[in-house]
Amino acid sequence: MSADTAGKIYLVGAGPGNPGLLTCRAVEVLRRADVVLYDRLVDERILGYAKDAQLVYAGKRPDCHTMPQEQINELLVERARGGARVVRLKGGDPFVFGRGGEEALAAREAGLRFEVVPGITSALAVPAYAGIPVTHRGLAAGVTIVTGHEDPGKPGSQVDWGRLAAGNETLVIMMGMGRLAEIAQALLENGRGADTPVAVIENGTQPGQRSLTAPLGELAERVGSLGLVSPAIVVVGAVAALGEQLAWLPARPLCGRRVVVTRARAQASELSSMLRDYGAEPVELPTIEILPPKDLTALDTAIGAIAQYDTIVFTSVNGVAAFFDRLRAHHRKDARSLAKAEVWAIGPKTAEALEARGIVAEFVPREFRAEALLDACAGDDLGGRRFLLPRADIARAELRDGLAARGARIDEVSAYRTVGVAQHRAAVLRLLAEGRLDAVTFTSSSTVRNFVEQFSAGEVARIRDQAVIASIGPITSETARELGLPPTVEAAEYTLEGLLAALVNYFENASAGRERIEKPQDGRAADHSNPQGERRA
């Protein structure tokens, strides 16, 4: 095969772990990829950009190489020779301790085209996320990045620990956790002071990031007591102490909290993204799936007679999406078909979904539930008005019955159905056993029901005792109480933003209460029993 018809190899840096730090070029290349060979620490959300590609795991741990480097090189060449666009997706930057140079040489020797897509290296990004500038005027005029994967006491090491110990520049040590004690000893023996500040940052740039600052002479003991493990970056030098002043990640109100998101998978990303912005670690465990109705006859009949309706009421974003998808795909029509009807929406997100399709809702009740809509039109004469309600198959009857009681003619059709997903029991129980379940969010009654069905009464009680139960509104809260999970917090505004605000308010107040107990103002000894404090175990 000639070079003109062969494929191409892309050596792509996935960045330090946080998908938000992926480069625009990396996203572009992943979207066009035919094959992606990815490393162990690449986030699944990054792989999500490669929707049409074959994914090949080529991850390595110190004690286990899924695929030797020679085999990786051969596979890259083989697939590119077959005409594929092959992405080698590597954590950090492919040319910083990523063996990207070896893979580039393999492509060149095979006569294949290749492109390097740099990534943000964790050597710089992780210290920044811990509030540590690797250079700082008056403290460090330079920085040296070294691998700790080599044995510092082994003859012939490529790392000159004696020279590094004697200098004043910042040392950033990657892949060094397995030999941290030996590295610290080598630096001490070669002249670095025992009081030199050192920072160790675990899971850098991720919501679960933890860090420790300790003197070099106490480093190994302190790291062991805290239980920090790989992946981690080690920063040696005076700048490491700045992390205690400049740490900005812990200031986010949900920093380190693990929050279960029970929404349908297609919708979970919005809430998860909001939680990450506030420092939380979202755990997506969708309990429901949104599917088309088993029988579309009623929906199709309603769409076919759309001009006969006086009012169309949309009660959810899902209802809007399902209705307009069917309107466009099957009936080959668009928003102009609704020109003769008033359109009402329950909730601002539903109204936004309509606006995205070219329709401004004439009426949105101030409170985002069916009862508020009924109250708002309580004095209206609805006699003879024809209403269409395209909703879920399990929608509550209050809206339908309330409008009918006011004389309206109602056609309620299933635009979509909600199906339970029961496959996350083990993940929740694991978080419970580890004491890491901080909160569970519910955005509808169906998410509560399908969540609770997966657990025994005793397990539901354990979830209730350990986690904050967060509800989006009173209808969801009522269901949660009936099923043994009374909400700890409920959104004042029945939106995702309102749910997030309620969670933030709870944890900020809990943290403030805990700080008042741990740091009493009257000088008495701290009482760590905290019987009335935060509910978390």
Strands 35-38 and 386-392: unpaired
Rounded CA-CA distance 128/133 in Å is 6
Rounded CA-CA distance 119/93 in Å is 4
In the residue annotation, 34 being an active-site residue is answered as: no
CA nearest to 228, candidates 193, 272, 198:
198
Rounded CA-CA distance 472/369 in Å is 11
In this structure, which amino acid lies at residue 162?
G
Radius of gyration of the chain measured on its C-alpha atoms: 29
DSSP H or E segment with residue 260: strand 258-261
Asked if 423 contacts 429 with a C-beta cutoff of 8 angstroms, the reply is no
Report helix, strand or coil for 243.
Answer: helix
Q: What is the 3-state secondary structure (H, E, C) of 82-136?
A: CCCEEEEEECECCCCCCCHHHHHHHHHHCCCEEEEECCCCHHHHHHHHCCCCCCE
User: Which residue out of 8, 34, 39, 90 is catalytically annotated?
Assistant: 39
Rounded CA-CA distance 295/415 in Å is 10
In the residue annotation, 60 being an active-site residue is answered as: yes
CA nearest to 120, candidates 47, 244, 12:
12
User: Which residue out of 60, 300, 393, 411 is catalytically annotated?
Assistant: 60
Sign of CA dihedral 242, 246, 249, 250: positive
Indicate which residues carry an active-site annotation: 39, 60
